[in-house]
Amino acid sequence: MTRHELVNTIREKQSLLCVGLDPDLNRIPARYDGNVLQFNRDVIDATRRYCVAYKPNTAFYEAMGLEGLSILQQTITYIGQDHFIIADAKRGDIGNTSRYYARFAFETLGADAITVAPYMGTDSVEPFLEYDGKWSVLLALTSNAGSDDFQHTPQEGGEPLYEKVMRRAQLWGSADQLMFVCGATQAERFADLRRIAPDHFFLVPGIGAQGGDLEAVCRYGLNEEGGLLINSSRGILYADDPGQAAHDLQRQMAVYLNKFAPGLSQ
Amino acid sequence: MTRHELVNTIREKQSLLCVGLDPDLNRIPARYDGNVLQFNRDVIDATRRYCVAYKPNTAFYEAMGLEGLSILQQTITYIGQDHFIIADAKRGDIGNTSRYYARFAFETLGADAITVAPYMGTDSVEPFLEYDGKWSVLLALTSNAGSDDFQHTPQEGGEPLYEKVMRRAQLWGSADQLMFVCGATQAERFADLRRIAPDHFFLVPGIGAQGGDLEAVCRYGLNEEGGLLINSSRGILYADDPGQAAHDLQRQMAVYLNKFAPGLSQ
């Protein structure tokens, strides 16, 4: 999916919602009797009109062994072509090896995008960016407590590591192929994040279970094209009514789009 | 495998060798007709007496789809219990999710260790360290060109990022459960790396195809227990005679063990 198509979808649906498909066998309703694929299909059917993206986290599927990978493939096929699909895999290795991860995400799974870890630098990220029409979503400022350990530390010259990552990575990939992970739990920093990368999309986890502030993220993070994909996983998957939970989020997003990015309103 | 057992194996075999099982379908000899499992088995049979560890990189298996994961499982089963097995997966995610990656590496695959990326900090690493008797191998100073982008940058106070990672991580895990990836292409830094982490094992990629200096790594990196697992992948897998290539490396290692860690000689 191109950026133009993604922006059009955001405008049409008045939604920035990304649904995280992270099925936890301990939390899936008993009526599914452990049938993860059926659970995913039902969540997708209930939410597809309200969201613009899906983000299966590969960890949840790998933990189910070979069957899990098959479920992941079938889930992505079931989603189809009308949503932006992010394989949340947080991969990254020397260039020779990242090429294989790229093949896994983009060819084996057929995702539009993969999340990538920046620690190993340019040649670990480039093989993902070399895929025409595919996207890399680079970890910048994550939503977890451990983001304090290294990401916030000022580098020589004063900028924190996440800022260095975002500035450097903009030399590697354009806003048509590169996004950044910016956690909603760091909402107070979104004005600053948007200043560092005015044009790039941010993938924003941390709404809901992790406590992020949706209004602040939209207020400071929206740009003229939206520029945000805001993820909810547990808050939708394990709601009594996943469709209702997704619809509620979409309606809030429509309000904030109207308020903070009026050019995108219908 | 415990540290005590690993050190005994190093002493008995006079070897620090880790064989990287990264099968590339384009480079496997034609006589295998694409049978990766048989290729791996033959490499293992030819090398098992000379090496103390095996390190399959998950990227190469994932790129083969579901069948690849099955080959990876069968390869690890074939290696058996007498070698230290590292799933080179470079994983890391929020704590809730890293738990699933840990289950994949330690339960589904049955590896002794997994490589882990540090960017997301403590709660992304802890779930791996919580597995009794298992190991985490944290990226510190990698062997690729991109390590220049972020790992070497001085932090406030002057220490480079990789040093901060190594110091901080020693608060999370002991030398009985935590190792560091330190690339052989940075051999001139090994005295410094050993000063930062005197007791922890280092997993050292970059010998051979990547150009690392084996003698310098041993001279500056060996400690009383060895403290090094030195990896060769392409240099062994695609040698005319993988067993001979492994034996050659083991003999060099025996010389350096005798020279720089005489307490480990037989």
> What does the DSSP assignment read for B41-95?
HHHHHHHTTT-SEEEEBHHHHHTTTHHHHHHHHHHHHHH-SSSEEEEEEEE---H
Nearest to A93 among B70, B90, B123 (CB): B90
pLDDT in tens, B116-138: 999 999 999 999 999 999 999 99
Measured CA to CA, the distance from residue A194 to residue A207 in angstroms comes to: 18
pLDDT band at A227 (very low <50, low <70, confident <90, very high): very high
Residue A210 pLDDT exceeds 80? no
User: Mean pLDDT, to the nearest integer, of A94-101?
Assistant: 93
Is the Cα torsion angle B174, B175, B180, B185 positive or negative in sign?
positive
Q: Specify the 3-state DSSP secondary structure of B146.
A: coil
Confidence (pLDDT) at A212: 77
pLDDT at A211: 72
pLDDT(B209) > 80: no
Of B117, B154, B205, which has the smallest distance from its Cβ to A92's Cβ? B117
Query: Is A164 considered catalytic here?
Result: no
Over residues B135-181, the pLDDT tens digits come to 999 999 998 999 999 999 999 889 999 999 999 999 999 999 999 99
Spatial distance between the Cα atoms of B266 and B264, rounded to a whole number of angstroms: 7
B186 — pLDDT class (breaks 50, 70, 90): confident
What confidence category does residue A106 fall into, taking pLDDT thresholds of 50, 70 and 90? very high
Q: Give me the half-sphere count of Cα atoms (radius 13 Å) on the Cβ side of residue A109.
A: 31
Bridge partners of A84, per DSSP, are A53
- Residues in chain A with CB shorter than 8 Å from the CB of B95 are 144, 146
Joined together, the tokens standing for residue A227 give 């520029």
pLDDT in tens, A239-250: 999 999 999 999
Per-chain mean pLDDT for chain A: 95
CB contact under 8 A, B66 and A62: no
| Average pLDDT, integer, range A234-242 | 96
List the single residue in A101, A139, A145 with the smallest CB-CB distance to B62: A101
Say how far apart CA A123 and CA B149 lie, in whole Å.
10
Which domains, ranges and CATH numbers included, belong to chain A? Answer: 3-264 (3.20.20.70)
Residues of B assigned a catalytic role: 90
CB contact under 8 A, A100 and B62: yes
* Residue of chain A with shortest Cα separation from B171: A149
**Contact yes or no for B142 and A73 at CB 8 A:** no
Q: How confident is the model at residue A256 (pLDDT cuts 50, 70, 90)?
A: very high
* B208 pLDDT higher than 80: no
| Contact flag B165-A143 (C-beta cutoff 8 Å) | no
The shortest C-alpha distance from A32 to chain B (Å) reads 21
CA distance A65 to chain B (A): 6
Say whether pLDDT at A156 is over 90: no
Token pair for B218? 């041993």
Q: With cut-offs at 50, 70 and 90, classify the pLDDT of residue A188.
A: confident
**Per-residue buried b or exposed e for B19-33, using 16+ beta carbons within 10 Å of the residue's own CB:** bbbbbbeeebeeeee
Pick the residue of B21, B22, B36, B62 with the most A CBs within 10 A to test the interface with A by mutation. B62
Read off the pLDDT band of A138 (50, 70, 90). very high
Structure tokens at B237: 């897998």
Q: Identify the bridge partners of residue B135 per DSSP, sorted by sequence position.
A: B113
Facing B150 at nearest CB: one of A144, A147, A161? A161
> Given pLDDT bands bounded at 50, 70 and 90, which one contains residue A185?
confident
Strand partners, B20: B55
What is the pLDDT, as a whole number, of residue A170? 98
Q: Token pair for residue B64?
A: 């083969």
Q: Look at residue A193 in the predicted model and tell me its pLDDT.
A: 97
Residues of B in contact with A208 (CB under 8 A): none
| Band (A108; pLDDT cuts 50, 70, 90) | very high
Confidence of residue B18 (pLDDT cuts 50, 70, 90): very high
Q: Please count the residue pairs, one from chain A and one from chain B, whose beta carbons lie less than 8 angstroms apart.
A: 179
The CA–CA distances, whole Å, from A69 to A48, A99, A171, B14, B127 equal: 22, 19, 34, 40, 22
Q: A63: which chain B residues are within 8 Å (Cβ-Cβ)?
A: 100-101, 103-104, 108
H-assigned helices in B104-184: 122-129, 147-150, 161-169
* pLDDT over threshold 80, residue A255: yes
What are the tens digits of pLDDT across the range B28-63?
Answer: 999 999 999 999 999 999 999 999 999 999 999 999
